[in-house]
Structure 1
Amino acid sequence: MNAQHTAAAPAETPVTVLGLGLMGSALAGALLDQGHPTTVWNRTPHKAKPLADRGAHPAATPGDAVAASGLVLACVLDHDALRTVLDPVAEAGGLAGKALVNLTSGEPEQAVEMAAWAASHGAGYLDGGIMTTPPGVGNPEMMFLYSGDAEVFATHRPTLAALGDPLHLGTEPGLASLYDAALLGLMWATFTGWLHGTALVTSEGTTATDFTRVALRWLTGAVSGFVTTYAPQVDAGRYPGDDATVDVQIAAIGHLVHAAHARGLDTSLPELLKATMERASARGHGSDSYASVIEVLRGAAHR
C-alpha cells in the first residue's frame, strides 16, 4: 500500500503591531483573523487585552515587540511619537534586519526622513496610507497604499493583503503620504459638493436619498468619463476644448450660484469654483477644456 503524504500548510508570517488605537487595533485584528501570529504593544497596556483575548501576544516593551517579528507595523499618533517609541530600540540594534511598515499618518517629507532613519539602523522601510476607516480594515476592496523599499513590499505583500488591497506606488518613500493627502482632498471636495447639491434639491422637498441615487449614476458615468478624458490632457499640457470650454462652464456655474442664492443657501463653494474658472479664463484658457484649470491650481511654483 502506497503511503500518502499531506504537505503541511505553510506557517503564517509573524507580525508585530505597535500602537493600539482604533486603527492599530483594527490592523492587529485583521492579522489575527488571517491566522498570523501577532504581537502587540501599546503605551497603555490595557488596550491590548481585547486582542490578547483573541490570541495576540502582548509585549511588555517596544523592544520585546520588535524582537518578536521580522515584520513590524507601526500606527501611532504621529511621527514624533513613533521616534519616541523606536529610538531606544534602534540604538540597541533591535531594528537591524527588520521590515518596518509605517502606517502612521504624516507628511511626505516625514516619510523620507523616516526611510533614511530606518536605513541607518539596518531596517527595510515602507511608508503606508490607509484608505479606509477602522471598520474597513480587512476588506480586500479597501486600498492600502505603500511606497518605499520594493523588496520589502514584494516579500511581505501576502501578509499586507490581510489588511486590504496593497498597492505599491513606487520606491520614493513619500509617495504614499502624497497620494493619501491628494485622495483625501478629492474625498472632501466630493463630499462637500454632494452636500451642497443635497441642500439645494432638498430645499424643494426632494430627499437626500433620492438625490444621491441620481448623483451616483452621474458620478460613476459621465463624471468618471470626463476625468478619464482629462488625465492625458493634463499629462500632455494641452487642453482641447472640444467637449465644454472653461467659458461655457463659467456661464453654467452662474446658474448654480443663482439657484443657491434664491433659496437662501450658502454660495461660498460655487463662488470659489467660479472664481477659479475665471482666473483660468483670464490666463487664456477660456476656450480650453476644464482640465486647464490645473494651471491655476498648480500656482506660480510650477510655472
Structure 2
Amino acid sequence: MWQTLEKRLNTTTDVTVIGLGPMGLALADLLLKAGRTVTLWNRSPGKADALVARGAVLAASPAEAIAASGTTLVCVLDYAAAETILAQDGVADAVRGRLVVNLGTGSPEDARRAEAWAHAHGARYLDGAIQAAPSQMGRPDTPLFVSGETAAFTQAEPLLRIVAGHLLHLGDAVDAAAFMDLATLSYVYGAYAGFLHGAHIAEVTGIDVATYGRLVHAIAPSFGAFFEHQGGVVAGGDFRATESPLRISVPAVRRILDTSRGLGINTELPGLVDGWLAKASARGLEGEELAALIKVLRR
C-alpha cells in the first residue's frame, strides 16, 4: 500500500531513512514506534510496504525523500552506494539547508569526501558508525558514535538517541567516527583471533569448546573494565604499575607459545605478542603497567 504521489509531495516528516536493508528497516521501525513521522526511499520499493502500512511515507526518488525532512539517515552498504544515490537527479538541490547523517561503512577519507560534498551543496553532514546488529538497535547500551559539526549533532541527537542509547559525539573532525570504528574493530578482531586460538587449544586437548565459550562470556565484563583502565593509562601517559605489571605477561604469553608449539598448532598469534613483549623487556619496561607495551608499537 503506497501513498499517492500527491500525498508524498505535500508531506513533511520528522526524518527520512534512505536504505531499507536489515539495519535501515530497524531504524525506521524504531523511529515509527517512537511516534516520529518517517519518509522512506529504497531502490526496491516493496521493502517499504509494511512500514507504509504503519504510517510511513514512501518517496518516489532520493531527492523527494531528502526534501521531505530536515534530517536524512542514509543506511546503505558503503559510501560507493551512498554516493550513487546522492548523485541522482534533484538531490543536489533538495539537500540544501538539510542534514545528512551517513551510517554506512567506510574509511576516514570517505567521510571527508562526503562532508565536502554536503558542504558544497549547502547541507550539514554527520558521519556515523553503528557497532551493533539490527536486532540490538534501540537499547540503552546500543553503541553509535558520530562525528561532525556540533550544531549538526545537536539537530540529529534526539533522533539518534531513539535508535541507539549509547550515543557518542566524537567532535567536529568528521573522520573521527571512521577512525574510532577502525580502532574498536581492531580490538574486536584481535580479541576474536585470541578466542579462536584458545578454541583450538581446547579442541585439540579434549576440552569442551562450548564450555570454553561460556567461560569467555563470563569473564568478558571484568576484562572490559581492565581494558578501560589500560586505555586510561595510555591516555594519561603514566605507566607506573597499578593493575598488571608487564613482567607478569612475559612468561604467561611464552607459556601459550610453548604449549602451542608442543601441540603442533598454529603459533602466529602468540608468537606475535611474545615478540612484542620481548622487545618491551629489552627496553626495560617490565616494571611498568602492561599498557606500556604500546611503546613498542609506537614509531
Q: Distance in 2 between matches of 1:110 and 1:296?
A: 30
Which residues of 2 match residues 144-293 of structure 1 at below 5 A?
Answer: 144-165=144-165, 166-221=167-222, 223-241=223-241, 244-293=244-293
Identity of aligned residues (%): 36
Query: Number of paired residues?
Result: 287
Partner residue, 1:67? 67
Classify the secondary structure of the residue corresponding to 1:162. helix
1:188 corresponds to which letter in structure 2? Y
The residue that corresponds to 2:5 in the other structure is none
Q: Is it true that 1:44 corresponds to 2:44 in the alignment?
A: yes
Structure 2 SS opposite 1:265: coil
Match of 1:266, SS state, is coil
1 CA distance for matches of 2:102 and 2:243? 43
Q: Distance in 1 between matches of 2:182 and 2:50?
A: 32
User: 1:123 deviation in Å?
Assistant: 1.1
| Distance verdict in 2 for CA 1:227–1:137, change over 3 Å | closer
- Whole-Å separation in 1 of the counterparts to 2:205 and 2:139: 38
Residue of structure 1 equivalent to 2:7: none
In structure 2, the CA distance between the partners of 1:53 and 1:248, relative to structure 1 (3 Å rule), is: same
Deviations 1:49-108 (A, max 9, x none): 343334322211111111111110011222222222113466642111111111011111
Secondary structure at the aligned position of 2:115 is classed as helix
Structure 2 counterparts to residues 134-153 of structure 1, below 5 A: 134-153=134-153
Q: What's 2:4 paired with?
A: none
Cα distance in structure 2, aligned partners of 1:65 and 1:279: 56
2:116 is aligned with 1:116:
yes
**TM-score, normalised to structure 2's length?**
0.85
Distance 1:199 1:155 in 2: 49
Q: Which runs of 5+ in 1 are unaligned?
A: 1-11
Aligned position for 1:9: none
Distance 1:217 1:137, change over 3 A: closer
Q: 1:161 to 1:244 in 2, by over 3 A?
A: closer
The TM-score, its normalising length taken from structure 1, stands at: 0.84
User: How far off its partner does 1:241 sit?
Assistant: 4.2
Deviations 1:228-248 (A, max 9, x none): 443343234342346554444
Q: Deviations over 1:2-37 (max 9, x none)?
A: xxxxxxxxxx96211111222222222221222221
C-alpha RMSD of matched pairs (Å): 2.4
> Secondary structure of the equivalent of 1:96?
coil
Gaps of at least 5 residues in structure 2 are: 1-11
In the aligned structure 1, how far is the partner of 2:83 from the partner of 2:50? 26
The reply to whether residue 30 of structure 1 matches residue 30 of structure 2 is yes
Partner of 1:94: 94
Provide the C-alpha distance between the structure 2 equivalents of 1:36 and 1:232, rounded to a whole number of angstroms. Answer: 39
Work out whether residues 90 and 121 of structure 1, in 8 Å CA contact, stay in contact via their aligned partners in 2: no
| Contact map agreement 1:140 1:163 (CA 8 A) in 2 | no
Partners of 2:281 and 2:89 lie apart in 1 by: 56
> Would you say the 8 A contact 2:76–2:104 is kept in 1?
yes
Does the 8 Å CA contact 2:63/2:91 hold for their aligned counterparts? no
- Farther-moved stretch of structure 1 (272-281 vs 70-79): 272-281
Residues 242-283 of structure 1: CA deviation (Å, up to 9, x unaligned): 655444422221111222233343222111111122233334
Deviates more, 1:68-77 or 1:236-245: 236-245
Instruction: Return the letter of the residue paired with 1:293.
Output: L
- 1:78 maps onto 2:78 in alignment: yes
Structure 1 residue 173 displacement after superposition? 0.8
CA distance in 2, matches of 1:208, 1:185: 24
Aligned to 1:133: 133
Partners of 1:133 and 1:264 in 2: how far apart? 36
Give the Cα–Cα distance (whole angstroms) in 2 for the partners of residues 183 and 70 of structure 1: 31
Q: Secondary structure at 2:162's aligned position in 1? A: coil
